[in-house]
C-alpha cells in the first residue's frame, strides 16, 4: 500500500491545482507546526514531510529539523531547496530509523496515517516511541474519520481556495484529480480511517498517552489531530 502511494507522490500529480495552492497549503501547515515546537533547542522530525516548501518557518523555531520523505524525487528536490539552511536535513525512512534513541523532542506525522495499513502505522509508532525523549511529543494530524466523504474534503478545499485566491483553479483541479491516478489508487486501496477512539487506542497500544487537539493542522477541520507522549517502561517486541 505505502509503496504505491509513494510512487504517486513522487510523480507529476495534480493534487495541488496550481503554484498558489501549493504555496499556501505548505505555508499554513508550517506556521501551525512551528507553534508546537517546545523550545528553540528542540530537535524535530517531520516524518512524511512531502515537499515542505516552508520548512524554514519550522526550522526557525527549533535547533534541528529532520525532514523524512520516502519519495526519492521529492526528497532530492527538498534537500536541494534547503541546502543552505544548516538546521534542515533531508532523510530517507531508513536513515530516520537509525537515529539515536530518545534523541527527538517532537515528531510530526501529518497527513500520513491514511496511507498506511494499521500494521504499518503500529510499526511506525513503535519507532517513534524509541526515538522520542521521555518528555517528547508526537503529533498525528490530518486523520480522516470513518464518516467523512470525499465531498467534504472537496468543500474544504473550495473554501480554502476562495479565501486564498485560487477558486477557479481549484474547481478545474478537482475534475483533473477525479480522472487521475489518485482516484485509481484510492479505489484500489482506499484510505485508512480512524474514529477518535480508534486512534486513541492505536496510540495507547503502542505506548503513548493521548489527547485529541481541538483543531486539526491545515485547512480541513473535518479531519482530526492528536498529541501523544511516550509512556516510560514500554518495551518494543523482542526486548
Q: What is the Cα–Cα distance from 99 to 94, expressed in whole angstroms?
A: 9
Q: Is residue 172 part of a domain?
A: yes
What domain range includes position 41? 2-230
- Asked whether residue 236 is assigned to any structural domain, the reply reads no
Q: In this predicted model, what pLDDT tens digit does every residue of 58-86 receive, in sequence order?
A: 999 999 999 999 999 999 999 999 999 99
CATH code of the domain covering residue 59: 3.40.50.150
pTM of the model: 0.92
The answer to whether the beta carbons of residues 93 and 123 sit under 8 Å apart is no
Whether residue 235 lies inside any domain: the answer is no
Question: Domain total for the chain?
Answer: 1
Predicted pLDDT of residue 170: 92
Integer Cα distance of 125 and 127 in angstroms: 5
DSSP symbol at 199: H
The answer to whether residue 158 sits within a structural domain is: yes
Q: Is residue 6 part of a domain?
A: yes
What are 183-211's pLDDT values in tens digits?
A: 666 666 678 999 999 999 999 999 999 99
Amino acid at each position: 500500500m505505502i509503496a504505491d502511494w509513494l510512487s504517486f507522490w513522487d510523480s507529476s500529480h495534480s493534487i495541488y491545482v496550481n503554484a498558489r495552492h501549493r504555496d499556501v497549503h505548505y505555508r499554513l501547515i508550517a506556521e501551525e507546526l512551528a507553534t508546537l515546537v517546545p523550545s528553540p533547542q528542540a530537535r524535530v522530525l517531520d516524518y512524511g514531510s512531502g515537499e515542505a516548501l516552508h520548512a524554514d518557518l519550522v526550522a526557525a523555531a527549533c535547533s534541528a529539523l529532520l525532514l523524512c520523505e520516502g519519495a526519492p524525487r521529492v526528497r532530492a528536490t527538498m534537500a536541494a531547496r534547503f541546502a543552505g539552511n544548516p538546521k534542515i536535513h533531508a532523510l530517507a525512512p531508513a536513515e530516520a530509523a537509525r537515529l539515536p534513541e530518545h534523541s527527538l523532542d517532537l515528531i510530526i506525522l501529518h497527513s500520513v496515517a491514511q496511507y498506511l495499513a494499521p500494521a504499518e502505522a503500529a510499526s511506525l509508532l513503535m519507532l517513534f516511541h524509541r526515538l522520542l525523549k521521555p518528555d517528547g511529543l508526537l503529533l498525528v494530524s490530518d486523520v480522516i474519520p470513518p464518516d467523512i466523504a470525499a465531498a467534504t474534503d472537496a468543500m474544504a478545499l473550495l473554501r480554502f481556495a476562495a479565501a486564498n485566491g485560487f477558486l477557479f483553479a481549484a474547481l478545474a483541479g478537482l475534475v483533473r484529480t477525479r480522472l487521475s491516478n489518485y482516484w485509481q489508487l484510492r479505489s484500489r486501496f482506499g484510505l485508512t480511517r480512524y474514529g477518535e477512539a480508534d486512534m486513541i487506542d492505536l496510540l495507547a497500544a503502542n505506548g503513548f498517552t493521548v489527547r485529541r487537539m481541538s483543531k486539526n493542522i491545515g485547512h480541513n477541520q473535518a479531519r482530526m489531530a492528536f498529541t501523544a507522549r511516550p509512556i516510560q517502561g514500554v518495551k518494543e517486541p523482542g526486548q
